[in-house]
Amino acid sequence: MSTVKCLVWDLDDTLWDGVVLEGDRPRPFTVAVETLRTLDRRGILHAVASRGHPRTFAAHLAHHGLAELFSAVEIGWGSKSDAVHRIARSLGLALDAVAFVDNDPVERAEVAAVLPGVRCYRADQLGTLPDRPEFRPEFVTDEARQRRRLYRVERHRARAEQDFDGSTGEFLASLDLTMTVRRATEEDLARAHELTVRTHQLNTTGLALDMAELRRLTASPDYEVLVAGLRDRFGSYGTIGLAVSELTGADSVLLLLLTSCRVLSRGAGAVLLDHVVQRAVRAGLRPTARFVSTPMNQIMLVTLRFAGFEIVERHDDRMVLALDPDRRRGTRPRHVRVVTEERAGQ
């Protein structure tokens, strides 16, 4: 069972005992607050999908010191399934990474029917959620502990983009984006493993490499394991990318390339791919790549093809692609500067 990345909460009679719009001023359930904080420390995001007036609920959450725990808030009078879907989209999450908790069986049934990938829980199950395997990530990295803050910074970016008087390209250029790419070290392995488990949309092959396998690959001269971080004028996005290549006599075989869904709009996948291609060409190797098709990762195949990779083998949903170095396309987004261990920048 995959790990839940975001738990979406109903508020009245779920987070607290009472209905705020009816004049109640209920205190949050102790067990609910404990679950909120426990899952937050594990890097699981929280969001709100509830019925009512946004300002009233925002004030009540703030009064009890809980407002900052929620990375997305959808409060209104529409369906809960629409609210949950908007939350997943705003956070860049697949629906099967989202869970929903509500005291009302009708609301749970509506969400389950419209969004079958979303896992639904009763309010009286809140105390047990931290013990369930889907809410227990294998590793809790520093990145995970900072995840809510990273998403909060992302909200500032989103507001800045809405207020920006210019094109999308001009806004991206204004961000001063810098990607740092380096060989993975022992300190990077937990986050690298977490990325393989959490990232589905921007993942070329879906390999879920465990710590032992990543450690073996980083120690082998026949493989290259790279991690990528990203930052801009607002701050850091954290470690957002991973590339694993096998170095053979003639080819550099990209076994896995992935980037966090949070940086989809920044073009980070294309930037990291371009960097991997450059490394291969400088080493005198032909860039090749494996791709395993899933219902969610077609954007990564588009990224490979747009960079000039051609399909040379195909077996059902598995492909091998290769790039002729003499026919490389200059498609890397120019609004991202790349800094590597080998050179100060590109």
What range does the domain containing 17 cover? 6-135
Question: Cβ(273)–Cβ(303) under 8 Å?
Answer: yes
Tens of pLDDT, residues 26-65: 899 999 999 999 999 999 999 999 998 888 888 999 999 9
Tens of pLDDT, residues 178-193: 999 999 999 899 889 8
Do both 184 and 322 map to the same domain? yes
Question: Cβ(328)–Cβ(277) under 8 Å?
Answer: yes
Alpha helices in 247-336 (DSSP H): 268-282, 298-306
What Å distances lie between residue 53 and 72, 103, 104, 213, CA to CA? 15, 19, 19, 50
pLDDT at residue 329, rounded to an integer? 67
Structure tokens at 9: 């909460």
- 147 domain residue, yes or no: no
pLDDT at residue 331, rounded to an integer? 65
Cβ neighbours of 264 (radius 10 Å): 14
pLDDT at residue 344, rounded to an integer? 39
Order of strands across the sheet that contains 45-51: 72-76, 45-51, 6-9, 98-102, 119-122
Do both 121 and 234 map to the same domain? no
- Half-sphere exposure (CA, 13 Å, Cβ side) for 222? 3
Do both 182 and 284 map to the same domain? yes
| Residue 291 CB contacts under 8 Å (≥ 6 apart), including other chains | 204, 205, 300, 301, 304, 318, 319, 320, 321
The three-state secondary structure class of 310 is: strand
Do both 124 and 23 map to the same domain? yes
- Which portions of the chain are predicted below pLDDT 70? 1, 22-24, 329-331, 341-346
Tens of pLDDT, residues 213-242: 999 999 999 999 999 999 999 999 989 999
| CATH number of the domain that residue 29 is part of | 3.40.50.1000
Q: Would strands 72-76 and 98-102 be described as parallel, antiparallel, or unpaired?
A: unpaired
Q: Return the amino acid letter for 202.
A: L
Do both 74 and 210 map to the same domain? no
Nearest Cα neighbor of 273 from 330, 317, 219 is: 330
Structure tokens at 47: 């969001």
Do both 175 and 125 map to the same domain? no
| Residue 212 CB contacts under 8 Å (≥ 6 apart), including other chains | none
Q: Return the amino acid letter for 75.
A: I
Do both 178 and 67 map to the same domain? no
Cα angle for residues 143, 6, 9 (degrees, 5° grid): 135
pLDDT at residue 345, rounded to an integer? 41
Do both 186 and 332 map to the same domain? yes
- Please give the Cα distance from 308 to 323 (Å, whole number): 6
pLDDT at residue 150, rounded to an integer? 83
Do both 26 and 79 map to the same domain? yes
| CATH number of the domain that residue 213 is part of | 3.40.630.30
Rg (C-alpha) for the chain, rounded Å, is: 22
Please count the structural domains in the chain: 2
Do both 224 and 118 map to the same domain? no
